[in-house]
Structure 1
Amino acid sequence: MQTQIILNQMIKAGLHFGHTKDQWNPKMSPYIYKEKNGVHIIDIIQTWFYIRQVCKFLEISTAKGQKVLFVGTKKQAAQLIQLTAIKCHSFFVNQRWLGGLLTNWRTIKKSIYKLNTLDTKSTHISAKHTFLKKKKKDKLVKYFRGLQNMQNVPEIVIIIGQQKELNAVYECQKLGLRTITILDTNCNPLLADLFIPANDDSISSIKFILDQLAVAILKGKQTFKLKQKKENK
């Protein structure tokens, strides 16, 4: 009964809507239930199975202290990415993926350090200088606000919008990081370690999935905190 309720919620959120047939990636065929009016319909039963699988992985991984980075710069995903990451105390990139963000982490970390130390309120410099410093900080905030407390490259990267985030995908592959990707019918499952076949364009679909992932991450983090408390006694 509970599963049926959840499946109905998923359908209401539009998780099952894929792209039109002319946009599909044939590698996604195992996860497509049927075609309706020229649009591929994703197998919602499989979607729920993969959501549960991914949530279990996230809970176990974060219980070991592993860190998570959310990546999604599509307009409909950006705000949700930020809110979800903040809610589950994780990191995020939701404006633009800067080349080398992970593979050239040492250099990127310097920019984050600048953001964390740049003082724009000094009264001993000219108004013009103050304006320029503020402009510089605003730019750093735009690209690095979700990474301000990230000390090292995370172990897990969650990607929404695979086709737009291919640079992130390739950097993760190069570093051997585990990726979790929401795969629409125009995506490539071979480019993801773990994945959830679902609509990655709808705000309601993205939110449903991110809410599930956030709960799993929070559970894992809580377990990790309890372990640390026991070890410190």
Structure 2
Amino acid sequence: MSKTDYKELLEAGAHFGHLKRKWHPKMAPYIFMEKNGIHIIDLNKTVVKLDEATAAMKQIAKSGKKILFVATKKQAKDTVAEAVKSTGMPYVTERWPGGMLTNFATIRKAVRKMATIDNMMKDGTFDVLSKRERLQISRQRAKLERDLGSISDLNRLPSALFIVDIKKEHIAVAEARKLNIPTFAIVDTNSNPGLVDFPIPANDDASKSIGKIMEYVTKAVNEGLAERTADKEKTKPKKEKEADKKEASSEEA
């Protein structure tokens, strides 16, 4: 039985596509009909594709790998950032830094720069600087935080990307394809589903539709993470388990 609820997708307006004149012919298999000049997406196909995508994402999370979420369009950024926080996965919702994947070493340098500034603030070096220098560094830190904040813990390339609107995020899609990184994406009727490995045909313009799909996606990721934790617990040596129990009971006391 499907994990995705057809009715929930319908209520969220996930079936509304773009104007007929803006369609991409490769989306034809996922289009149910045309109404008032707008393409209507076949939600039965969406259900199947979303189930496929969430099952694969659950396995990636279970294996301890990172999925990078990309959504910089206005209707998606806050919805995606809020949903992804529960999983602890990295996300980009402000601006895709060109070369983020293909030139990952440079991005890591910028992240290290951010860490250096943080250390300066902690060890008192920052206080010795002039007011002007402090202001410059603070501005630099704020810019880095805005662009790289949620990916500061990404020490290596992500194992997959989840993208909202592959037309807008075409640079991210191209970089992932170049490096053979699997891609998952919400794909609307104006985009080519062949550009991603796991296309989810749905409305990528309404925050309600994006939010509903993110619910299913993050639930699957969290299930994968929970199963990983449970498996680790099972394989833990007996002594470690006993130590954990003692620690827990002493904390309760």
**TM-score (norm: length of structure 1):** 0.95
Give the Cα separation in 1 of the matches to 2:40 and 2:156.
Answer: 39
- What are the Cα deviations for residues 178-224 of structure 1, in whole angstroms up to 9, with x where unaligned? 00010100010110101100000000000000110000000101111
Aligned match of 2:55:
56
Give, as a single letter, the amino acid of the residue that structure 1 aligns with 2:135: F
Answer whether contact 1:82 1:146 (CA < 8 A) is retained: no
Q: How does 1:204-219 map to 2 (within 5 A)?
A: 204-219=208-223
1:110 aligns with 2:109: yes
Counterpart position of 1:188: 192
TM-score by length of 2: 0.88
Counterpart CA distance in 1 for 2:194 and 2:53 is 16
How far the C-alpha of 1:228 sits from its partner, in A, is: 2.5
**Number of aligned residues:** 231
Q: 1:135 aligns with which of 132, 139, 161?
A: 139
Structure 1 counterpart of 2:128, from 113, 124, 128: 124
Whole-Å Cα distance in 1 between the matches of residues 11 and 79 of structure 2? 18
Code of the aligned partner of 2:91: F
Q: How far did residue 8 of structure 1 move? A: 2.1
Aligned partner of residue 162 in structure 1, secondary structure: coil
**Residue-by-residue CA offset, 1:4-31 (whole Å, 9 max, x unaligned):** x932221111000000001000100000
State the match for 2:249 in structure 1.
Answer: none
Partner of 1:71: 70
- Computing the radius of gyration over CA atoms, which structure comes out larger, 1 or 2? 2
**1:230, distance to aligned residue in structure 2 (A):** 3.1
Name 2:176's counterpart in structure 1: 172
Superposition CA RMSD, Å: 1.5
- 1:8 matched to 2:12: no
Residues in 2 aligned to 1:232 and 1:152: alpha-carbon distance in whole angstroms: 26
Offset of 1:63 from its aligned partner? Answer: 1.1
Deviation (angstroms), 1:53: 1.2
**Deviation at 1:232?**
3.5
Q: Identify which of 213, 225, 228 aligns with 1:224.
A: 228
**Structure 2 residue identity aligned to 1:124:** V
What percentage of residue pairs aligned between the two structures are identical?
35
3-state DSSP of counterpart to 2:223: helix
Q: How far 1:116 moved relative to its partner?
A: 2.2
Partner of 2:38: 39
Cα displacement (A) at 1:85: 1.8
Contact kept, 8 Å, 1:161 with 1:200, in 2: the verdict is: yes
Which consecutive unaligned segments of at least 5 residues does structure 1 have?
none
